[in-house]
Amino acid sequence: MAEPEDNAAEVTQAGAGPGSPVIRVVIVDDHPLVRRGLRSLLETLPGIDVVGEAADGATAVREVQLTRPDAVLMDIQLPGLDGIEATRQIGVTCPDVAVLMLTMFDEDATDFTAMKAGARGYLLKGADQDEIAGGLRASWPARRSSVRKWPPAF
């Protein structure tokens, strides 16, 4: 059997087809309740596996280097090393990892700065389960072009 691409494993969760890739995700947010909520939500989705968490940017960079996920859900405002700088560092050390920024507000200047730092796109913190899953799936595999905001505006 051939090795799956881009750190993907075979899906064994109900609801996903055999041979479908599993997207390995790290969650980064300084609020424990947000991390737990995102983990709980993502763990219900077939084809998505949460492999790590971090509460600040420096820990996020280390966690990504250790776990080599496919994607990171990254809060912008973090203590110490902020999400934008952490994204920049992840892009240097792990360029195949897709970073999606989590933000409260749809602010063009912040979003542009995050994209310039290497983020593949961003999700509003008010996004529902389908929007988060769609954003992760659109950002993976990492070789895809930027997804910008998910869901796309019409």
- Pick the closest to residue 101 from 144, 45, 57, 36 (CA basis): 57
Read off the pLDDT of residues 32-73 as tens digits, 9 standing for 90 and up. 999 999 999 999 999 999 999 999 999 999 999 999 999 999
pLDDT tens-digit map of 89-112? 999 999 999 999 998 877 766 777
Dist CA 42 CA 25 (whole Å) = 9
Selecting from 1.20.1250.20, 3.40.190.80, 3.30.200.20, 3.40.50.2300, what CATH number does the domain 23-147 have?
3.40.50.2300
Model's pTM, two decimal places? Answer: 0.79
